[in-house]
Amino acid sequence: MTPAAKLVVYPPDENGWRRVRYDGVAIGVAHRPSDIRVFLAAAGMEDAEDADLTDPGFVEWRGGGPEAWEPSGKPGNGSGSV
Supply the DSSP symbol for 70. S
Chain mean pLDDT for the chain: 87
> 5-15: string of b/e by CB count within 10 Å (b at 16+)?
bebbbbebeee
Residue 66 exposure: Cα atoms within 13 Å on the Cβ side? 16
Res. 1: pLDDT tops 50: no
| Amino acid 72: pLDDT | 77
pTM of the model as a whole = 0.81
| Amino acid 55: pLDDT | 94
Write out the residue range of the structural domain in which residue 11 sits.
1-82
| Amino acid 4: pLDDT | 64
**pLDDT tens readout for residues 5-35:** 699 999 999 999 999 999 999 999 999 999 9
Q: How far is CA 4 from CA 7, 8, 60, 80, in A?
A: 9, 9, 8, 24
Alpha helices in 5-81 (DSSP H): 33-42
Domain count, the chain: 1
